[in-house]
Structures are given as structure tokens and as C-alpha cells.
Structure 1
């Protein structure tokens, strides 16, 4: 009973992953509030051969998994890092499918106590995969418990309190931890060192995203023209998750306001309705960029002041809008604050003020 309640508290769910199973459908409950996540899960590839992009990581991971299968053992623990939406969760599910085993799914924020993690670990079966999303957000006591479990396949359960407390060591069957993180630098060195394979996922180029979109269009049973796929790919920020989301929005527009054909005109019209511009900037991105240029003369301006100007929290501006704006060379971060680049002024169709020191090329 203690183990069952702890597992439920930790938010861990078991997902059976097999070649002909509906694994990803069972990760997401297709309720009314989860339709978007269900649609996203349905488009995920199930095997490494279906996975588009990330050629180096895919090849390295294939070697790790197939070598372990050849030895009849479990593969080393796997750490996947990179920005959101690039396929870390998908690869975790694929690992289970390639190994022919089940995947237990949980996340760092869901495990607040060592007992929660102990319950999850104690219920694992031999060869299973434990996927921990946002592993950098594990509580410190749970981290320390995970160290021992990953290295020695053992978990120490403390029974009793105070002077009468006693630690009981429970042997665990061999299993594989797959950790996913968007901030690998926050992982403590002892935890990072226990992963036998670390793969970093990079942003996709437009050609790879067009392949993703072509595959997704086939699964959605829609007619996606090549030029429309290229247009959607160019506005997807190098991220498959965004590309698939925009594809579904273009499909909606074509279904309601056209004949259902996803051609270039439909793609451009739909993306205009959803305020996604030619660079992939959305409403928040443009608000930040416009405020920086028109209200603050291109900067420098502090993050908090900029966030107030657009009516958002500083953390939202910093974590949601800024990474893409910086990556695209539209804003720069300086010790004095945020500044607009020459490309930002050009993209907005504005003329920068002739003030030295505020314009970055």
C-alpha cells in the first residue's frame, strides 16, 4: 500500500512500449483538455528508423541499444539534453520500443521526496526503462537516492525514526534510466557522471523539418504541397514540435476556409491568422521586439522594464521569447540590458535612431 500511494504521488505512469502497441497513445489521456497533446503524441515516430534528424545522436544511440541487445543485458543510462520540442521524450519512448520493454514515465518536479523515488524504483521490473523528464529539477534527497540506484542497482529504505531508524537495502533488477533536460548545466556532476551515454539534440534545418512535416501530413491524411511544407518549416524555429503544431493549424484553416488543400496560399493565410510571421516570430516575440525598438529606442533596457512594457512576467520574456530572438540575432544581451540589432529594426520595417552605441549588427 505504501509503495502504491507513493507511486501515485510521484506522478509516475507505466507505458508498455512494443512494436505493435499504442505506447504513445497511453502516455497522454485523450481528454478534452488534452486534445493538443494527444494529437502531438500521435505524430511521434515509434522506432529509430522513423526518427528524422539528429543523425549523430541517432547513430550513437542505435549502437548503444543494439550492443546491449546483442549482449543480452541492459544498456547504460541515457541522458538527453537540448531545447524543448526537439524529440527527447520521443527518443525515450523509442528506446523502450527498440529494447522491447516498457517505459515508466515521471518528471523531476513530481518527485519531491526520496520515498516517492524509492517507490518507483522498487516497482521496476528487469530491463524496464525509467524516463525522468526535467531531471535537473529533482529534489536533492531524491538525487542522492538515484545515485546509488543507477550505479549499484540498490535502494536504501529507512524504516523508523530517530535513534531507532534503520536502513534496509533493497536490491533492484537491472534497469535503464533515461533522463531528459533542457538545462544540462544544472545537473550536479555526480548525477551527470552516472549516465553512460549523453546525447545533445540540436535545432533542425528546414530540410529536416520538411521531412517531419511530410511524414506528419501522411499520418493526418492531408494533402500538403511541397511549397507549403517549406513555408511552414521556415517559420518553425527549427523545432519539430512547433512545425507539427503549425501544420495542424494550417489544416484547420484549410478545412474551414478553403477546400482542405494545404497549398502555399493556405499556409501563408493560416499563419497570418495565427500571427506567425516570416521568421517564425509570434505575438509575444513581436511585442518584445517592438517595445524594445519603439519605446526604448533600441535599448539598452533592463529585463524587468521590458517585461512590464509588454505586460508579461520577466521569467516569461527571458525563457520563452528571448532564446529565439537572441538565436536569430534580433536582440543582444549586454551588461547594461537588452539591445535591438540592426536586423531587428529591418525586420520590423523601422529606421533605427542615429545614436551611437545602441545599435548592434
Structure 2
């Protein structure tokens, strides 16, 4: 219902390139202000809007992987595209943007629910056409196992598939350059297959809570060897902040009781930084501040007299300070953001107070 009444009507407005540019600027500004330097971004159903997103991303200097979202059934008519047209539009966009600066292209069927086997075959054709070059092959992203109703509908639409994952995997869409969003209700054999393929899962705890999707089985993913990183899913979530997503991930595992993973502050930092770099194939470049990597970093500078500043001042060690950042930190506490050693934003030039450093 939320998709039909809220998300899809807004997405349809992106057919207007001028409006798409306005939204892209606001979106990328939100990422920057929240301290997110690198992101896999669910694009638009319209090629002109995807062009605008990449243009604005290039201007801001963020590391963005995105692409044309394609569907050929179920959604409103103005968001649908025939498989042949989707393939040609994707080729054109990928040629123009993949590997250009910090930008990369992701083949993006919206989800199996809105794509036929013909569309998924076209997605696979595009994915496997470009395997070389400085940026390597294209990326793949889509949704999987987000909620039980969706899974049941996918089962009806793909009666010959062994599960949700198989709707993608049998077309060759699941591999080391694949990031699958949500996976709240996986089958054990799907976790085994995701791990074997080297794919990653984007865990979006705030969105899962807002939509009542369920409690993410983090322990089961990790036990199976699946790489997991944090996502905000801002369409259904409540903002861009990865600190908040880390805190929500902690809450979600607490709610699972004995079945949940016990997450400490260092675990949340790993999920918010290096895990994302690993999922995006960028761990040799970013994800931590070790020697030889590019300087992607945040300067976190809480306001003097605020709750976070007070707690940090009384922190007994780094673990306490880090826990305070996830529990109490907000976008307002981020003073500056660097990408590749270049400062891309600077907030509150007159701010005073404690100045602990944080890395993204």
C-alpha cells in the first residue's frame, strides 16, 4: 500500500529532468550531510533521471554506484519498460558512466515481483557484456526476501523457481558484484548460495522496522559466510544517517533475543564502514584509515554542552566514546566530510567544543 500510494507516484515525477535534478541534488546533499561518502543507490525508472543523478554525483565527488531501475509488469504503466528497450537504455548509460571518476553502473531490476523472466534475461545480458576495463564489470542490485507477502507473490509468479534467490541466480545475476537488499526471510539454502557466489546483503534496519518486514537474521547470515553491510533504504527509512542505522541494527538484534547477534560498538563501526567497502569491492581503496588507502573521513564535532559532547567528555575509553556516537550522534554533529582527501562539505564554521574524530 505504501509503495502504491507514496513511493510510485513520487518516482513517476522523475520523468521531468528538471525535477529529477532538484531531487538528485537534495538526495546527494543528504548523503553528504549524513557523512556517507560511498553508496549503492537505487536509481530511477527514467534514463534521463539516471543521467542527472550521475551528473550531480560527479559534481559532488561522492562514490556512487547506481543505474536504471527496470520493471515490465505490476507497477503503474508509466514506470514500465520493455526488456529490449531496458537493455538498450542500460547499455547507453553504462557506456557513459561506468568507471567515470568515482562512478560505477549497477544493473537494477526493481525486484522479481515487477520483472518477467524476459526482463531478468535482458538484465543478465547487460551485466555480462562488460567484464573488463579500469572499473571492471558492471554491478547488480535488487530486492530479495523483504517480507512474507512479497515472497508468496514471487512464488506464484515463478512457480518453477526454488526460491526468491533462484529467480535471479538462474539468470547468472548473483555473483561477487551483486548486492541484495533486505533478505529478512531467507531460506537456509539461499544463504549458502549467496555466500558461495560471493554476493553481499544490504541490511536496512530502519526500513525493515518502518514497514514491519521482520527482524533481520544477522547471525544466520554471518554463520553462513554471507557478507553484510548497512543500508538506509531512505525511501522507506527515516533518513540518511548511517549512525542511526547502526543503532537500529543493534536494537533489532536485541529484539531477537538469544537468536540475535550481540553487537558491540566496534561491530557497528565495522558494519558502517569496512563492511560496506567490502560489499562494494572497494576495500583496497577505502573503508578504514590504514596506510595506502584514500582518505574518506568525517570530523565529528558535537555542539558544546549537548548530550553527546557531555557523554564523550566522560567516556572512559574508545569503546565508550564509539558507543556514544552510535547512540547519540546525528547529522548535526558532523562538522566536515572528506572523500579521497578532498573536503566536500564543511558545516558550522563557528562551532566550538569537544572535537573527537570519526572515520567513515
TM-score range, shorter chain: under 0.3
TM-score (norm. length: structure 1): 0.27
Structure (1 or 2) with the greater helix fraction: 1
Q: TM-score, normalised by structure 2?
A: 0.27
Larger Rg: 1
